[in-house]
C-alpha cells in the first residue's frame, strides 16, 4: 500500500497481508463460540484431531508455514512439523496414528505423512508436480489428494500403505473431502 522508488533503481514497498485466526462455533443453537487463536500469525486450515480433543492447523507463528496442534481443553500448543519448506493442508487419520499434509520440502508440492507427533516424515505421493489437500475416508485405506499436474489434472487416490496412484475423477478438484 506504500511504494517508494530511489534514483538508483530500487523500490521499497509494504505488503498488506491479512492475519488469520481460528474460531470455533457450536452448531447446537446455543450460539457459543470461542477464539482458538488470535494475534499477528496466519493460522488456517484447521482440522479436528484426537476425536475432537484437538485441532491441527497451519501457522506461520514461528517464521515458516508448519503444522501445529492445539489441545482444546488446556489450550496447550505444540509444533508438529519444523521445516524450512511449506507444510500445510494438515489431515489427521481417523485412527489418530498418522498425519498427512502437503509440503514443498522436496522442491514441489507432494503429500507427506508421519506419525501423529511428526516423527519419521515420509513422502507419500510421487505426483511430480503439485499434489495437495490430502483426505482419507473413515476406513483409512486410501489417501485421496488433488493433483494439479498439467499432464492429468485430477482427484487421485493412492493406497494408504503406498503404491500406484489412480485417477478418481479428471479435472480441477482444489480441496477434496472424502466422506466416510
Q: Please say if the pLDDT value at position 9 is more than 80.
A: no
Given this model, what pLDDT does residue 174 score?
A: 74
28 Ramachandran zone, left/alpha/beta (phi>0; psi -120 to 50): alpha
- 27 class by beta-carbon count within 10 Å (0-12 exposed, 13-18 middle, 19+ buried): exposed
Read off the pLDDT band of 18 (50, 70, 90). confident
With cut-offs at 50, 70 and 90, classify the pLDDT of residue 3.
low
Give the pLDDT confidence of 56-67 residue by residue, as tens digits: 999 999 999 999
pLDDT of residue 77: 97
Which helix (H) or strand (E) is 122 found in, with range?
A: strand 122-123
Check if the beta carbon of residue 67 is closer than 8 Å to that of residue 43. no
Predicted pLDDT of residue 142: 93
Q: What percentage of residues in the chain have a pLDDT greater than 90?
A: 63
For the segment 106-154, what is each residue's pLDDT rounded down to a tens digit?
999 999 999 999 999 999 999 998 999 999 988 889 999 999 988 889 9
pLDDT at 5: 63
Q: Which residue has the higher pLDDT, 19 or 77?
A: 77
Average pLDDT over residues 103-108: 94
Say how far apart CA 172 and CA 13 lie, in whole Å: 35
β-strand partners of 144:
135, 157
Q: Which of 22-36, 68-82, 163-177 has the highest mean pLDDT?
A: 68-82
Amino acid at each position: 500500500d506504500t511504494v517508494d522508488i530511489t534514483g538508483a533503481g530500487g523500490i521499497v514497498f509494504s505488503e498488506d497481508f491479512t492475519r488469520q485466526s481460528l474460531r470455533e462455533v457450536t452448531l447446537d443453537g446455543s450460539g457459543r463460540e470461542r477464539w482458538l487463536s488470535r494475534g499477528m500469525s496466519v493460522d488456517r486450515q484447521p482440522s479436528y484431531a484426537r476425536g475432537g480433543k484437538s485441532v491441527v492447523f497451519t501457522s506461520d507463528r514461528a517464521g515458516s508455514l508448519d503444522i501445529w496442534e492445539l489441545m482444546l481443553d488446556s489450550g496447550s500448543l505444540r509444533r508438529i512439523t519444523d521445516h524450512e519448506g511449506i507444510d500445510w493442508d494438515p489431515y489427521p487419520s481417523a485412527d489418530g496414528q498418522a498425519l498427512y499434509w502437503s509440503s514443498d520440502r522436496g522442491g514441489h508440492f507432494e503429500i507427506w505423512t508421519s506419525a501423529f507427533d511428526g516423527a519419521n516424515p515420509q513422502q507419500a505421493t510421487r505426483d511430480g508436480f503439485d499434489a495437495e489437500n490430502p483426505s482419507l475416508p473413515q476406513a483409512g485405506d486410501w489417501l485421496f489428494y488433488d493433483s494439479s499436474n498439467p499432464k492429468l489434472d485430477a482427484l487421485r487416490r493412492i493406497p494408504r500403505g503406498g503404491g500406484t496412484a489412480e485417477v478418481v475423477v479428471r479435472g480441477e478438484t482444489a480441496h477434496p473431502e472424502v466422506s466416510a
